[in-house]
Amino acid sequence: MVSTHAESSSMGGLRVTTPGPGRYTLRTHSQQVVVPHSARDALRARLLADGDPDELVTLTFIGDVGLDELFEGQTEPVASLGWEGLLLPHQQRRTLRLPRDFTMSPDVTQVDLEVLRSTSWVVDELLQTPFLDLHESLLISRGDDVVGWVPIWRLSPDTSVIRLTVIHPSIHADEERRRTHLRLTTYSQAVESQCAQGRSVLSWLPDSGDPVNDLKLSIGGAATLTHWMAIKVRRDLGA
């Protein structure tokens, strides 16, 4: 989960950032142990300082490190958002070849934006996101026709983000195995395009029930994997 801007504070062993109004991201300090009771009191005070007690806010936090204990007794259940994997250059991972007749090439600015828009309804939203590097992003072609692309975000000279592959819904629409293979190979090729330049890749895998995400984990060989959770609570943490 990467924030483009955020204010931060430290309290009770927690590091809290505010990526937007009514939204908070919780992390643990690597050198501190979180004591649930004191951390909950500190978090409640922070939330109340920003608004009315009965206002609902969204808290996003790393799972599997005990932060879920802060929300015991809440009516709203904790939801799994997905996993953020860190893939490192020079790390061993499976190499997948593109299916026959498909190619990939960098720099999506070489085609008209309407061509990209024709591949998916999400394209306009993607084009407006910060840090998107259109020159590093990869076109997916079948023969002479552009059938998709892989957006690549550049957070720093040494770090890229790959979240998804965009492929026109008509491609292998009735052949799920071939479409899955195409999605995996284009993802794999995009990761290699960045790692080959000495860059680390952050990859977001939503907990959406899509089996392709599990396969991405198996081929990607992530060095670290972070499970992100979320919950909506009142600012006073009342149930």
Question: Which residues have CB under 8 Å from 208's CB, separation 6+?
Answer: 82
Architecture of domain 89-222: 3-Layer(aba) Sandwich (3.40)
**Domain ranges for the chain:** 7-82+226-234, 89-222
The predicted structure's pLDDT at residue 34: 72
* Residues 28, 65: Cα–Cα separation, whole Å: 8
Q: Where are the beta strands (DSSP E) in 1-96?
A: 7-11, 14-20, 23-28, 56-62, 79-87
Neighbours of 237 (CB within 10 A): 18
Q: Note whether 88 and 200 are within 8 A (CB).
A: yes
The predicted structure's pLDDT at residue 30: 63
DSSP state of 70: G
Q: How many residues does the chain have?
A: 239
Q: How, if at all, do strands 159-162 and 200-206 pair? A: parallel
The predicted structure's pLDDT at residue 64: 66
Residue 159 belongs to what H/E stretch? Answer: strand 159-162
Q: How, if at all, do strands 159-162 and 153-156 pair? A: antiparallel
Vertex 225, ends 222 and 231: CA angle to 5°?
150
pTM of the predicted protein model: 0.78
Tens digit of pLDDT for each residue in 168-210? 988 888 788 888 899 999 999 999 999 999 999 998 888 887 8
Tens digit of pLDDT for each residue in 47-88? 999 999 999 999 999 876 677 888 888 888 889 898 888 889
**SS3 of residue 22 by DSSP:** coil
